[in-house]
Amino acid sequence: MTWTDVYILRNEVLLTLLVLYHLIVDLTEGKDNGRLVNGTLFGFGLVTAVGFYPVETTSLFGQMFLSDPLRNTLKLILNISTFIILLQSASWLRKPENQPKTGAFYMLIFSTLMGMSFMISAGNFLMLYLGLETATLPLTLLAAFDKKLRRSAEAGIKLLMSSAVSSAVLLMGLSLLYGSYGTLYFSEMASLTDAQALSVFGLVLFVAGFGFKLSLVPFHLWTADVYEGSPLPVTMYFSVVSKGAALFTLMLVLYNVFTLYPKSWTLAAYLLSVTTMVVGNLFALRQKNLKRFLAFSSITQAGFMMLGFVNNDNLGMTTVVYFMMIYSLSNLAVFGVLSMVFNATGKENIEDFNGFYLTNPRLSLIMLLALFSLAGIPPVAGFFGKFFLFTAAAAKGLYILVFIAVINATISLYYYLLVVKAMFINKSEAPVATLTSTWQEKLAFTICLVGIAAIGFVSGVYDYIASLI
């Protein structure tokens, strides 16, 4: 391996180094983890910053590992999201009961992020599967991170069992694909046009495996239990980074490998989009617990993401990436407020937010903007994200789908506004006390808010993504 290769592998190498560092430091670190937390934030901040340096289109290990500006940007989006999560989890890690596990937490987070990075850069289905498993196993451990809590342990076990099934289905799909093509390399498969029942079935199994990660209905049933049971930073990670990595990988494979017979996968996207939006909405409507609520909201949002996939042109890819970026920032802002409240009071129900505006006006406004962005209300970025997705679907003439999506967007508005109503209108005998945020939280909120406010208006962002594809 030359230095050039290391530069191409920079994200994976740096993440591996971080994992190794935390494995060692976990043995030596004393009681107080303040330096470790801040040091890790600084170190990972640097790793994230490295992603801003441009890369060229190239490959390693005989097409096993691909690197190009698009993949680099996708990894960068995941890194930034992870960085925000680490910022927001700092005060949770500083709690006495979590202090001894800090190193383990970071080690697991960086391992799964590294796996996702490999998954995105994969140029071969075997590589992709290795990345996927590297990402999944630490995730189950993270879900069970509050090991003394019953619901956390339950979340870990449920995730482990269901992801085992989904991996099996995925592997089955890959075997069928290998059986019909005789190769697992993306570049070779892309030129094969033969769409027989066998390969289409393999493709469906593959989509289902990733549908599990993305929590598309009907592969979503683990989502609510795991989101609710996991510690909040892990839930954030599931709903944004893990989902983002799955989305990006699925997108890269479908658009680059199955280019020549898009009909089957755009059809799958159509069907999954409808079921996911509808079922996600119907469940989100009845939730009282904010974590569960956000779980179903994130399912609905995944349904919207599928709208982009019905368009097999570059437009579809651009809108999906653009939407995911906005969704990440909005969701992280909501979770950030929730995690501050939860850390201080242990409350996580919607009704606990009654009268929140009177005691915490700034946090309420942040939450308001973020919820508006999730609901897609102009002029915040979420509106533009949804608008472009609808455009992508409409460009293919699928007006019925767009109509269904618009109705679902309206329904989702209802339950997002329920939270807003709780904060601003409902009265409470004992509202949450006024909270003070740490610098980490302030920085995280700033990044999210700038994104939510600006991405929609700065047309350069969309144009940049379009230029990569």
Q: Does 419 help bind other proteins (rule: CB under 8 A)?
A: no
Is 253 one of the binding residues for other proteins (CB under 8 A)? Answer: no
Residues 434 and 361: their CA atoms lie apart, in Å, by 9
Residue 442 near other proteins by CB under 8 A: no
Residue 432, H or E segment:
none
413: left (phi over 0), alpha (psi -120 to 50) or beta: alpha
Contacts of 79 (CB under 8 A, 6+ apart): 11, 44, 47, 48, 51, 113
In one-letter notation, the amino acid at residue 31 is K
Does 25 engage in binding with other proteins (CB under 8 A)? Answer: no
Which residue lies nearer to other proteins by CB, 16 or 264? 264
d(CA 249, CA 263): 19
Nearest distance, CB of residue 279 and other proteins, angstroms? 7
Q: Does 263 bind other proteins (CB under 8 A)?
A: yes
Task: List, in order, residues 6 or more apart from 267 with CB less than 8 Å away.
Answer: none
The nearer residue to other proteins, 15 or 208, going by C-beta atoms, is 208
| 232: nearest Cα among 154, 160, 297, 290 | 290
Number of residues that bind other proteins (CB under 8 A): 38
Task: Report the residue from 139, 257, 272, 452 that binds other proteins according to the rule CB under 8 A.
Answer: 272
Quote the CA–CA distance of 88 and 205 in Å, as a whole number. 36
Is there binding between residue 269 and other proteins (CB under 8 A)?
Answer: no
Residue 435 interacts with other proteins (CB under 8 A)? no
Query: Which listed residue (59, 264, 349, 359) binds other proteins by CB under 8 A?
Result: 264
* Contact stretch for other proteins (CB under 8 A) within 114-122, 240-248, 282-290, 384-392: 282-290
Stretch that binds other proteins, among 2-10, 88-96, 275-283, 307-315 (CB under 8 A): 275-283
Binding part of the chain for other proteins, among 6-14, 22-30, 214-222, 232-240 by CB under 8 A, reads 214-222
| Nearer CB in complex with other proteins: 130/172 | 172
370/339 Cα distance (integer angstroms) = 14
Query: Is 161 an interacting residue with respect to other proteins (CB under 8 A)?
Result: yes
d(CA 142, CA 112): 10
- Residues in Cβ contact with 122 at an 8 Å cutoff, skipping those fewer than 6 apart: 64, 65, 66, 128, 131, 186, 249
**Residues in contact with other proteins, shown as a per-residue x/- string from 168 to 207 under the rule CB under 8 A:** -x-------------------------x-x--xx--xx-x
Closest Cα partner for 317 from 392, 260, 382, 391? Answer: 392
- Binding other proteins (rule: CB under 8 A), the pick from 79, 117, 166, 230 is 166
397 makes contact with other proteins (CB under 8 A): no
Cα dist from 40 to 117, 142, 302, whole Å: 19, 18, 31
Rank residues 20 and 165 by Cβ distance to other proteins and give the closer one.
165
Using the minimum distance from each CB to other proteins, give the nearer residue, 101 or 151: 151
Strands (E), 91-233: none
Strand ranges for 165-303 from DSSP E: none
**Side chain identity at 103, as an amino acid letter?**
G
Instruction: Return residues touching other proteins (CB under 8 A).
Output: 157-158, 161-162, 165-166, 169, 195, 197, 200-201, 204-205, 207-208, 212, 217-219, 221-222, 224-225, 263-264, 267-268, 271-272, 279, 281-283, 285-286, 407, 411, 414
